[in-house]
């Protein structure tokens, strides 16, 4: 039987006055196979997940980019993060307001 072991929910925020298309680093507290993400309403864009082994480490793109229509949001998805612990979320276009994604790691 599959047992899901999740981390605590974390905020991943794009602060548009500081960096309009990239969240700050989020520590999921342990390496995880997947990440659950709650996507807020956004300006039309693509989303990319970046992940690293250690804080401040080299970040790698993980998986394929996701297209998002303007105003679309408040949906949940699961993204593979390949056993990594630190993540950032990038939008393909600058956002015109702060955007907060909710994320948590998930492993079996």
- Render pLDDT for 65-106 as a digit per residue (tens, 0 to 9): 777 777 767 788 999 999 999 999 999 889 999 999 999 999
DSSP string, 3-41: --EE---EEEEE-TTT-TTBPPPEEEEEEEEEEEEEE--
Burial class (CB in 10 A: 0-12, 13-18, 19+), 72: middle
Answer yes or no: are the C-beta atoms of 30 and 85 closer than 8 Å: yes
Query: Residue 98: which CATH number?
Result: 2.60.120.260
- Render pLDDT for 20-43 as a digit per residue (tens, 0 to 9): 899 999 999 999 999 999 999 888
Supply the pLDDT for residue 4: 85
Q: Any idea which of 10-14, 15-19, 20-24, 69-73 has the lowest mean pLDDT?
A: 69-73
Between CA 82 and CA 23 the distance in angstroms is: 19
How many domains, the chain? Answer: 1
Q: Which domain holds residue 80?
A: 5-107
Between CA 69 and CA 80 the distance in angstroms is: 22
């Amino acid at each position: 039987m599959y047992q899901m072991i999740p981390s605590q929910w974390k905020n991943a925020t794009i602060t548009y006055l500081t960096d309009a298309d990239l969240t700050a680093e989020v520590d999921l507290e342990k390496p995880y196979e997947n990440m659950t993400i709650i996507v807020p309403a956004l300006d039309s864009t693509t989303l990319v997940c970046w992940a690293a082994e250690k804080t401040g480490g080299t970040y790698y793109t993980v998986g394929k980019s996701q297209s998002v229509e303007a105003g679309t949001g408040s949906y949940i998805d699961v993204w593979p993060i390949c056993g990594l612990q630190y993540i950032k979320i990038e939008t393909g276009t600058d956002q015109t307001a702060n955007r907060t994604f909710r994320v948590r790691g998930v492993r079996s």
